[in-house]
Amino acid sequence: MISLLRNYTFVITLLFLFPQVVLTAQTLQKSKPNIIIIYADDLGYGDLSCYGNPTIKTPMLDKMAYEGLKFSQFYVAAPVCTPSRAALLTGSYPKRVGLHKRVLFPNSTTGLNPNEETIANVLKNNGYTTACIGKWHLGHQQKFSPLNQGFDTFYGIPFSNDMSQKEQKILRGEGSNYQYKLPLIQGKDTILFEPDQIYITKDFTEKSVKFIKSNKEKPFFLYLAHPMPHIPIYASPDFKGNSARGAYGDTIEEIDWSVGQILNTLNALNLDENTLVLFTSDNGPWKVYKTKGGSSGPLRGAKGTTWEGGMREPFIAWWPKTIKPQQHSTAVINNMDILPTIAKITGAKLSGNKIDGRDISQLLFNSESALDNHPFFYYSRLGEIEGIRIGAFKMIMRDGIGELYNIEEDISESYNLANKKPEIVESFKLKMLAFDEQLEKEKRAVGIIE
């Protein structure tokens, strides 16, 4: 009888303690939040209504910004696709990983070295299921596949959407002798050549939603890299002709719809309070295509330049109940900071490879929080260092001559202060060149197809 009473008491005690067990499990789950990065292609600083565009309607991104944190001084490490994406995924300046000189093409024989540690590697090693959906552009050969870079799943295209025999004929005329066809890849297999890009945003969105639903019971990382608004621009029939901004606006508004599909899915599955969603783009707009290209807003320059318009991007962070709503930060941060920040938030360990990003998680949780200042942020183009920013000042080199701008006061880089502050120009130039020399010594081997 005494034994039975003891057992009964033990069971009753467990029942009373059970809520605490559930709470502990929830706390443990909270320590491994889901991570989603939505990375657009060639989207400009002025292309979203929450960043001041007067004609393109982006209600879901506006909602995301309203419910979360919007940054106004977020940079990417390069003004073109491949180097920017390498920096995002490795937390390193492109030169450190050997992908700094130009974008990769279908005839390229290099790619992101599989020995590099990516965000996907970090999270997969910490128990996450990982997916890359959309544009990769870090090497199209099997050696450089996302499946060899920490991703469990890949569905998308290996390089830019204009690297296509079909699209080059449209862009350059029937006389184009471009020989490469754009493949759509699932896992290791090419399932289709020359996919219909009218439906590509919709397709990648639907695959992303399916991935989220399939992995709702465990921590996941989704890298959704939209191929647009890189030229060529397309929108599905539901969006074509809807925007006052024309075809370009149609494309952006469909990407905004895509963001809404992701957020709505998280809400419906009760995953929203355990998911960090980040939205940004790889570089500034491709203005050479005029109305078919985007807007840098108040910024000077565009894609391919080290003016602010080439390297400053919208950046929105959303995590209900963790990131406070209606927040805005003017902190100077960049896409290399995302890897160490995610590692900190998820409790993941980094390999020890030297990186250039820093943990900015305290900014996400308190937008007014002070960060230890970066010694500098440097601007490079085609592998050549061209500029450096320290505090409010940016020095940019043009034909060996330094130009100086107070970016806080002169966001459009209209007033060159070099003649008034030559000592700053000289000091910045020395620091810039010294860092570039150090980076040259420290850079790791790029991936090569033998």
Which residues are part of the catalytic machinery?
Answer: 81, 137
436 φ, ψ to 5°? Answer: -65, -40
Please give the distance of CA 218 from its chain centroid, rounded to a whole number: 23
Q: Which residue is it, tokens 């930060």?
A: 329
- 155 touches 192 (CB < 8 A): no
Nearest partner of 215 among 32, 347, 39, judged by Cα: 32
Question: What are the residue ranges of helices labelled H in 2-52?
Answer: 2-30
Q: Which residue shows structure tokens 């303690």? A: 17
Integer Cα distance of 127 and 441 in angstroms: 34
> In whole angstroms, how far apart are CA 86 and each of 42, 77, 95, 284, 357?
16, 9, 10, 16, 12
Q: Where are the beta strands (DSSP E) in 382-436?
A: 384-390, 393-398, 401-406
Structure tokens at 326: 């209606």
Looking at residue 356, the DSSP 8-state letter turns out to be S
Q: Is 143 helix (H, G, I), strand (E, B) or coil?
A: helix
Q: What are the helix (H) ranges across 68-219?
A: 81-90, 119-124, 165-172, 200-214
The alpha carbon dihedral of 103, 163, 228, 225 has a sign of negative
Phi, psi values for residue 32, rounded to 5°:
-125, 70
The candidate with the shortest Cα–Cα distance to 433, out of 368, 384, 363, is 384
Find tokens 């350059």 and name the residue.
172
Paired residues of 135 in beta bridges:
157
Phi-psi label, residue 134: left if phi above 0, alpha if psi -120 to 50, beta otherwise? left
Tokens 């490795």 belong to residue: 90
- Which one-letter amino acid corresponds to residue 355? I
Distance in angstroms (rounded) separating the CA atoms of residues 294 and 197: 19
The Cα–Cα gap between 249 and 15 comes to 57
Q: What tokens appear for 393 in the block?
A: 């000042």
For 68-153, where are the alpha helices, taking DSSP H only? 81-90, 119-124
The pair phi, psi for residue 390, each rounded to 5°, is -135, 115
